Amino acid sequence: MNSGFQELWRDRLDVIFPRSCVHCGGMVEGGRLRHLCPACERHLLVVGPPHCTTCGHPYYGATEVNRLCPHCEMLEPKFGAGKTAILLQGPGRSLVHALKYHHGLQVLEDITIIMAAVPGYADYLRDAVLVPVPLHPKKLRQRRYNQSRLLAECVVQAVDGQARVEDLLSRVVHTESQTHYDRSARQKNLKNAFALAPGATINPAQRYVLVDDVFTTGSTLNACAAVLRRGGALNLDVVTFGHG
């Protein structure tokens, strides 16, 4: 089915089944996104420079050279650079929650559009091998998909195919949701939780970028990065869709 016919068919379906905004619940009419109305889209907090080079959180006001970021200053990262697309507030939070908790796979189309439009985001990811943060098999059976894997596929689309996804990691220890834990507790819970996937091979000359949905304390990304470092990854960065 060609793209023109797909768009025509989709437009007709929109007339029969009007789209609703995942944030405010109102009808989506016009605008570039299909699942956020134009009013809510205007409240997306897109991250541009200047921002922390470790976690991607924006700096506000005057900036200083080598300024410490309060979101990651205690992290001791096992990776190089980090970047994020949006702050996890308002409509941005609704997009991520729709994907992560409500099986809202339809928002992936909007997420791809946002990724492609964020200043410097696509350039940062071109020609990289994207490594999704894995889910434990128990969690994967419950959710039926790994949202980080789907976001990595969105990245490939956002960079016009100039990146590829490799599942180099596995989660070998099941942990409960980390949402309500501080950095210290998260680090303890994630100790030895990840390993190289069976048969995974790492090329020291290749640039790898870990992909996760959200940067909160960075503990999950750091635990994954440590495994890839031990496996031989020398050029290793991270990226998330949201920060918060």
Q: Residue 55 is part of a domain; what is its CATH number?
A: 3.40.50
Residue 240 has what pLDDT? 98
| Interval 92-115 mean pLDDT | 97
Taking residues 21-50, what's their average pLDDT? 95
pLDDT for 10 equals 54
Q: Are residues 74 and 183 in the same domain?
A: yes
- Give me the chain's average pLDDT, please: 89
Q: Are residues 73 and 52 in the same domain?
A: yes
Residue 157 and residue 125 in contact, taking contact as beta carbons nearer than 8 Å: no
Same domain, 29 and 101: no
Residues 91 and 16 in one domain: no
118 & 26 share domain: no
The answer on pLDDT for 76 being more than 70 is yes
Share of the chain above pLDDT 70, in %: 84
Q: Which domain holds residue 7?
A: 1-43
User: What's the confidence (pLDDT) of residue 57?
Assistant: 95
Query: What does the block give as tokens for 117?
Result: 């439009």
> Do residues 158 and 171 share a domain?
yes
- The answer to whether residues 48 and 160 belong to one domain is yes
What confidence tier does 17 reach under pLDDT thresholds 50, 70, 90?
low
Question: Does residue 12 carry a pLDDT above 90?
Answer: no
d(CA 239, CA 84): 6
> What is the share, in percent, of the chain residues with pLDDT greater than 90?
77
- Domain count within the chain: 2
- The model's confidence at residue 13, banded by pLDDT at 50, 70 and 90, is very low
Same domain, 202 and 234: yes
192 or 44, higher pLDDT:
44
Q: Whole-angstrom distance between the N-terminal and C-terminal Cα of the chain?
A: 39
Q: At what angle do helices 108-117 and 91-101 cross, to 10 degrees?
A: 140
Note if the pTM is more than 0.75.
yes
Asked if 162 and 145 sit in the same domain, the reply is yes
Query: 173-226, pLDDT tens digit by residue?
Result: 987 665 655 666 666 768 789 999 999 999 999 999 999 999 999 999 999 999
Structure tokens at 233: 């990854």
Q: Do both 21 and 104 map to the same domain?
A: no
| Residues 182 and 194 placed together within one structural domain of the fold | yes
Residues 25 and 107 in one domain: no
Using alpha carbons, list the distances in angstroms from residue 209 to 35, 137, 165, 224, 233: 28, 22, 10, 11, 10
